[in-house]
Amino acid sequence: MTRPYVLTEANWAAIRKTQFDVAVLPWGATEAHNYHLPYGTDNIQCDHIAAESARIAWEAGKNVIVLPTVPFGVNNQQTDIPCTINMSPTTQLAVLADAVASLEEQGIPRLVVMNGHGGNCFKQMIRQLQSSTSVLLCQLNWYDALSLEDHFEAPGDHADEMETSLMMHLAPGLVLPLSEAGDGSTNAFKLRAFREKWAWAPRQWTSATNDTGSGDPATATPEKGAAFFKALTEKIATFFVELADADPADLYEKP
């Protein structure tokens, strides 16, 4: 059965009859995830999280449409890892600008860029585009929506317990046994300011990590992934519902 809120499955017969309240553009990356997770981990997660969140909002009466996931992210510091595909921020801006222009022409009033890759950041792009479009633009990092400490024992930031648990739930056939995973250990910067995170520089991934992971996946389980996925998509769906009802010209509470 097709899902009318997922554009890749929807047809013109249904689309032409629907006035959409919110479009969701999932944006992932194609990169190594330790030894045990697939290169498409970010995209698989984006696909499932966006679709399930949209389903909940759709069943609450909001016309949400999930656009196809953009599979390439900013990976400038990982291109020495075979088959990592980098999309520069300038290219991302061009892709996003074209998507926004299309939605504006079609009268779709709100767009959520649902980000699933830590190397992506759309804030400055949105600032630039918002001044020239009537489409309300926003970014959502799905991995920031919940406190990871409430769900996992050893949160990291790449191919860790959280991502591994999610993939065990969403795509178990693509996850190798944990016995084949690296421990996700990382190497700290020598400069104190970088370690304390009040100064910043991009991490050269093959120097900063030992198996391309960042965070130990050893305690991951599909049950943890299922519980996290349910809580996460319910929360994101609440945002989609609120956004669908929001007046872009009246977003602020006044005294």
Bridge partners for 141 per DSSP: 115
In a domain, residue 59? The reply is yes
Q: Hey, what are 198's tokens?
A: 């009040």
The mean pLDDT of 82-95, rounded to a whole number, is: 98
In a domain, residue 173? The reply is yes
Intra-chain end-to-end CA distance of the chain, in Å = 48
The mean pLDDT of 26-49, rounded to a whole number, is: 98
In a domain, residue 252? The reply is no
163 contacts 41 by C-beta, under 8 angstroms: yes
In a domain, residue 42? The reply is yes
Q: Hey, what are 164's tokens?
A: 């591994």
Among candidate residues 159, 156, 171, 161, the one with its CA nearest the CA of residue 212 = 159
Q: What is d(CA 175, CA 164) in angstroms, rounded to the nearest whole number?
A: 8
pLDDT-above-70 percentage for the chain: 100
Look up the CATH number of the domain holding residue 104: 3.40.50.10310
Among candidate residues 183, 181, 186, the one with its CA nearest the CA of residue 168 = 181
Q: What is the DSSP letter of 120?
A: -
The model's confidence at residue 58, banded by pLDDT at 50, 70 and 90, is very high
Identify the three-state secondary structure at position 85.
strand
43 contacts 69 by C-beta, under 8 angstroms: yes
In a domain, residue 3? The reply is no
The mean pLDDT of 7-24, rounded to a whole number, is: 97
Domain of 226 in residue numbering reads as 12-245
The yes-or-no verdict on residue 234 having pLDDT over 90 is: yes
In a domain, residue 254? The reply is no
Task: Return left, alpha or beta for 197; rule: phi > 0 is left, psi -120 to 50 is alpha, else beta.
Answer: left
Amino acid 155: pLDDT: 84
Number of domains into which the chain is organized:
1
The mean pLDDT of 149-155, rounded to a whole number, is: 93
Backbone phi, then psi, for 120, in 5-degree steps?
-85, 145
Q: What is the mean pLDDT of the chain?
A: 97
The mean pLDDT of 53-69, rounded to a whole number, is: 98
Task: Say which amino acid occupies 81.
Answer: I
In a domain, residue 45? The reply is yes
Among candidate residues 225, 64, 219, 73, the one with its CA nearest the CA of residue 141 = 73
In a domain, residue 120? The reply is yes
pLDDT-above-90 percentage for the chain: 98
Amino acid 1: pLDDT: 83
SS (H, E, C) 25-78: EEECCECCECCCECCCHHHHHHHHHHHHHHHHHHHCCCCEEECCCECCECCHHH
The mean pLDDT of 103-131, rounded to a whole number, is: 98
